Structure 1
Amino acid sequence: MKRVNEYKKLFNVEKEIDLKQLKTTYRNLVKEWHPDKFQEGDERFEEAGIKSKQIIDGYHFLVSIAPETKAANLEDYNRTLSEAAIADFQHKGNVLEVSFTDGTTYEYFGVNKALFIKLINSDRQFRFAKRSIFNSFLYRKSKKDAVLQEA
């Protein structure tokens, strides 16, 4: 959740993410912090490069968790949950990354260590995750379909 809040702060997003407003803010920030605006000897040149990458990463991240994006991808998400099984999962900080047998990977934000331990100890991990994690936490598709990339 720290990453979510950090990016929301960068883009002045207070509640729901509005894609139109996000795009406008993104363009303005890119214009302000584009590395080409600064000379190589300028002290802000390196800061602009770092800030520019942060702006681009933040934009793509916020677009991926926006309600409009989630609504557009809901059918695929539900298909994954109904047809695929959990292939692998990792927990780092408060982010649970779940890879499914259909090649998709989703990140779930705000999953604490105690809930992760319950998932590990569950005799039916998919059932536990479906009831306690998949529809309860903010999520985003983090990687493209691995099967399509290999083909």
Structure 2
Amino acid sequence: MPTFQSPLQINTEHLRILHSNLTTFAADKKGSTITMKRIVEHRKLLGVDKTVTLKELKTIYRNTMKDSHPDKFVDDEAGRLEAEEKSKSVIEAYHFLVSINPETQERYREEYEETTSKSNIHDFYYEKQILVIQHLDGNSYEYIGVPRNTYIKMVNAESPSRFARRHIYGSFIYRKAGVMAED
């Protein structure tokens, strides 16, 4: 650790570390906003709020797809390309919103609770405020809006499974990310 001649003297290494920490903090805050912003944008695209039922969501999705289906633009190439892009966005938004819908989570709650309470973590990784946890039973879940510092605490925890049970499960919006294939 360097010694300073006056209390106000700071070397360039300390400034670099301070800048790095502030940049990481800002990126972490931005990532959280981006993740929640994604949910808001998907809801806005389909014109729904967080209280929408699966049945309503399906009806809205089908009507939106009818209005913007690329096959409606046979002679208009620019319109067809625009409709393709919009329909891709609508499909992505629909599948994402279905996966985080309370009805979907309620339907699979027993499986989720079985996995999170009895199966240890096989692997986990973090990208853009999304924590993906793969369990030994093959199930994998994405937790949305997880702060970077929570992920770092999980990495450093003696037991990531115990840490997740105490601080991740039940604290963040989640969705099933898939099932690992058997070898």
Q: Is TM (by shorter chain) over 0.5?
A: yes
Q: Is the 8 A contact 1:93 1:112 kept in 2?
A: no
The alpha-carbon deviation at position 40 of structure 1 amounts to: 5.7
**Aligned pairs (5 A) from 1:99-110:** 99-110=134-145
- Gaps (5+ residues) in structure 1? none
For the residues of structure 1 that align with 2:140 and 2:40, how far apart are their CA atoms? 22
The equivalent residue for 2:97 is 62
Instruction: Note the alpha carbon deviations across 1:36-88, whole angstroms, 9 max, x for none.
Output: 01126431211111111111121111111111111110000011012211111
**Aligned pairs (5 A) from 1:39-58:** 39=74, 41-58=76-93
**Aligned pairs (5 A) from 1:1-151:** 1-39=36-74, 41-144=76-179, 146-147=181-182
Say which one has the larger Rg: 2
Instruction: Note the alpha carbon deviations across 1:72-121, whole angstroms, 9 max, x for none.
Output: 10000011012211111111111111111111110001101111111111
Instruction: Note the alpha carbon deviations across 1:118-144, whole angstroms, 9 max, x for none.
Output: 111111111111111111100010113
Root-mean-square deviation over aligned CA pairs: 1.5
For the residues of structure 2 that align with 1:97 and 1:5, how far apart are their CA atoms? 21
Q: Is the 8 A contact 1:103 1:146 kept in 2?
A: yes
Q: Is the 8 A contact 1:89 1:98 kept in 2?
A: yes
Q: Is the 8 A contact 2:117 2:165 kept in 1?
A: no
When normalised by structure 2's length, the TM-score is 0.76
For the residues of structure 2 that align with 1:145 and 1:13, how far apart are their CA atoms? 32
Percent of aligned positions that are identical: 45
Letter matched to residue 143 of structure 1: G
Q: Is the 8 A contact 1:30 1:52 kept in 2?
A: yes
Letter matched to residue 88 of structure 1: D
Q: Which moved more, 1:30-39 or 1:52-61?
A: 52-61
- Gaps (5+ residues) in structure 2? 1-35
For the residues of structure 2 that align with 1:40 and 1:105, how far apart are their CA atoms? 44
For the residues of structure 2 that align with 1:9 and 1:90, how far apart are their CA atoms? 29
The alpha-carbon deviation at position 16 of structure 1 amounts to: 1.9
The equivalent residue for 2:15 is none
The SS at the match of 1:88 is strand
